[in-house]
Amino acid sequence: MNITKLGPVGAQIDGINLRSALEDQAILSNIRKAFVDNSVLVFRNQNLDPAHLLSVAGIIGEPLKHPIFPGLQDYPEIIQIENLGEIYHTNAHWHSDVTFEEQPPDATFLYSLEIPDEGGDTLFSNQFLAYESLPEELKTELSNMKASHSNASILNLVGADISNAKRVFHPVFRTHPDKLRKALFVTQAFVEKIVDMDDKKSEETLAILYSAACKQEFIYRHKWSKGDLIIWDNRSVQHFAEHGYGDKVRTMHRITTAGSKPF
């Protein structure tokens, strides 16, 4: 098992077959440690059917059913993501997954089944570094403030009644429970505003935070190959899914695992 750093966030793990490693407790312990240490893990050339993918997700935590999108019939925790054309591509924005839940998922697992020969990169940004890059006076001002997160945008996307949208409140800066290190925790996908701040100032402040969240020097760009599995930590990473592959086939399996209330 060889670990190679990928830049400002992430590491690639080579020399491991995840299907055969599931019974090796020493390897599983090393994967868990590498996940906390690096926030993004890349495993190339894996061969994972849905049952094995579900077992691999269990290395990090309890697999969850998505609160809105249905999963596979026999594996409801696994969402199949397919290319429906760029007009229906919904992840071309920086975000952490499912932050509109009281306990957002700790980890996301994304496994590539079919990959086009161009486009479709996924970008990952280190939110520890994003937080640390902010001016000290802004960090002090926002240190105890929360932002409201809502699933209204997803409900609107699927044609559901947004009057049933849920709203939760999370710290603007989240403390990672394993590293006790602060990370920026606001996302354009789900944040409505900063609580107890007037709308204009909230909008201006969020623009500063969103800009910090995706600075080029904090980003790892992943170019997919068939059989890649990426695991990322939603507590310390935002990601952005590019399109750019037209109508070509692109099929992925995705799982999120249980989390805890941000603090």
Q: Choosing from 66, 176, 250, 254, which is the catalytic residue?
A: 254
Q: For 11, what's the count of Cα atoms within 13 Å in the CB-facing half-sphere?
A: 17
Q: Choosing from 97, 106, 228, 233, which is the catalytic residue?
A: 97
Clarify whether 247 is annotated catalytic. Answer: no
Give the number of other Cβ atoms within 10 Å of residue 40's Cβ. Answer: 26
Clarify whether 239 is annotated catalytic. Answer: yes
Clarify whether 95 is annotated catalytic. Answer: yes
Distance CA 187, CA 164 (A): 21
- Per residue, the 3-state secondary structure of 46-63, as one string, reads CCCCHHHHHHHHCCCCCE
Q: Choosing from 95, 222, 250, 253, which is the catalytic residue?
A: 95
Q: Choosing from 66, 174, 239, 250, which is the catalytic residue?
A: 239
Handedness of CA 82, 83, 86, 92 (dihedral sign): positive
Closest CA to 179 of 133, 230, 239, 235: 235
Residues near 103 by beta carbon (within 8 Å), at least 6 away in sequence? 258, 259, 260, 261
- Structure token pair of residue 235: 């507590």
Clarify whether 97 is annotated catalytic. Answer: yes
Distance CA 245, CA 83 (A): 9
Closest CA to 238 of 79, 103, 48, 104: 104
Type of residue at 168: V
Distance CA 243, CA 263 (A): 34
Q: Give bridge partners of residue 123 from the DSSP assignment.
A: 221, 240
Show which residues are catalytic: 95, 97, 239, 254
